[in-house]
Amino acid sequence: MMFFLYLVFNFLLIVVPVLLAVAFLTLLERKLLASVQLRRGPEIVGVFGLMQPLADGLKLFVKEAIVPSQASQLVFLLAPLITFSISLITWSIVPFNFGVVFSDLDLGLLFFFAISSLAVYGIIIAGWSSNSKYAFLGSLRSAAQMISYEVSIGLIIINLIIFVGSLNLTKIVSFQENVWLIIPFFPIFLLFIISGLAETNRPPFDLPEAEAELVAGYFVEYSAVGFALFFIGEYSNIILNSTFSVLLFLGGWQGVSNFFSLISIYFLLKIIVMLFFFILVRAALPRYRYDQLMQLGWKFFLPLALAFIIFYVGFAFSFDSYRSLL
């Protein structure tokens, strides 16, 4: 019993900060977009609008949850819970500092791919159970988009796995003690962050939520708590994608690591920089057409990722052969 309570307490230490980060990421996004568009942004609720996320969350959780009469009610209610749960489970393998991780799995990256691929089910179930053609089309778009770019992300990360020789995230970060992996793998880093934009349905790849075509995508029939859970899941995935970008390419907590704190401040600053990138891309770039999105994934990113695997493996093999001759 005590061990169970210990696990629950440790997991809450991860979940609660993630939920707070999601809340204030929405405020940061609205403030930054307002600045780019020469507007004021939220500033009424609290000092400088700092209480706006709490007001928005309270509004969503006290509103009446409406279930369409023609929907499959049980499945309709389960879909946002599935998406929300899956978005939080992956945080259990994220190392926030050396030794500060809920579960330090040797197959951490494999666990990440296994869990993140399950997110498609929540979206498909939401679109199908709503019994709405707009929601169903949005869910199909989102599923196809996520699966397409997960393939590219998997092939991209294979290069790092071969180079480092481990699937453990702590070992990957420790490997970057002298040189961050963004330096030898800069082209792959660009592919990774663009694929991350597509997988999280962020602009310019927010096709599943195209207002002009599909009203609001797969969650068009959701309101109140259901919509809030989808919203939290989406923004949690954005923060998670930024965190993995830092862990895999930007050295994680390496640099000015503070071993006396649970979370390295340097690590957090890197994540915030990546989140700024996500927001500024939304402010600057127009939405792609759906055919352009799929062509980019299957006809450009996939062959390029395969080519980089051949290039980096060939380079490593040649280097080892040369070193053995010496």
How much is the pLDDT for 245?
Answer: 92
User: pLDDT per residue over 102-140, tens digit each?
Assistant: 778 888 888 888 888 888 888 889 888 988 888 888 888
Per-residue pLDDT at 215: 64
Length of the chain in residues, anyone? 326
Mean pLDDT of 282-288: 85
Tell me the C-alpha distance between 80 and 76, whole Å: 8
Same domain, 223 and 146: yes
d(CA 60, CA 23): 13
As a whole number of angstroms, the longest Cα–Cα distance in the chain is: 75
Q: Which of 62, 84, 119 is the last residue of a domain?
A: 62
| Average per-residue pLDDT for the chain | 83
Amino acid at 274: M
Are 30 and 149 in a shared domain? no
Q: 251 with 271: CB under 8 angstroms?
A: no
What mean pLDDT do residues 298-304 have? 90
Question: What span, in angstroms and rounded, lies between the C-alpha atoms of 248 and 121?
Answer: 27
Q: 322 pLDDT band (50/70/90 cuts)?
A: very low
Same domain? For 196 and 254 the reply is: yes
Statement to judge: residues 22 and 154 lie in one domain? no
| Tokens (6 digits) for 132 | 């709405």
Q: Would the CA dihedral through 82, 87, 93, 97 be positive or negative? A: negative
Domain for residue 2, yes or no? no
- Does residue 217 sit within a domain? yes
- The total of structural domains in the chain comes to 2
Domain range spanning residue 49? 15-62
Q: What is the pLDDT of residues 229-282, one digit of tens each?
A: 888 888 898 999 999 999 999 888 876 555 445 567 788 888 999 999 989 998
Q: Give the H/E segment covering residue 72.
A: none
Query: Residue 45, class by beta-carbon neighbours within 10 Å (0-12 exposed, 13-18 middle, 19+ buried)?
Result: middle
Domain match, 202 and 157 both: yes
CB atoms closer than 10 angstroms to residue 232: 22
pLDDT at 61 over 60: yes
pLDDT in tens, 230-244: 888 888 989 999 999
Residues 77-104: pLDDT tens digits?
888 888 888 888 888 888 888 777 877 8
**Average pLDDT, integer, range 291-313:** 88
Residue 5 lies in a domain: no
What tens digit of pLDDT does each residue of 194-224 get?
A: 998 888 888 888 776 666 555 667 788 888 8
67 φ/ψ angles, rounded to the nearest 5 degrees: -110, 120
Q: Which residues contact 322 (CB under 8 A, 6 or more apart)?
A: none
What residues contact residue 18 under an 8 Å CB cut-off, 6+ apart?
A: 88, 91, 236, 239
Domain assignment present for residue 7? The answer is: no
User: Cβ distance 193 to 182 under 8 Å?
Assistant: no
Q: Measure the CA–CA gap between 237 and 245, rounded to whole angstroms.
A: 12
Do 161 and 48 share a domain, yes or no?
Answer: no
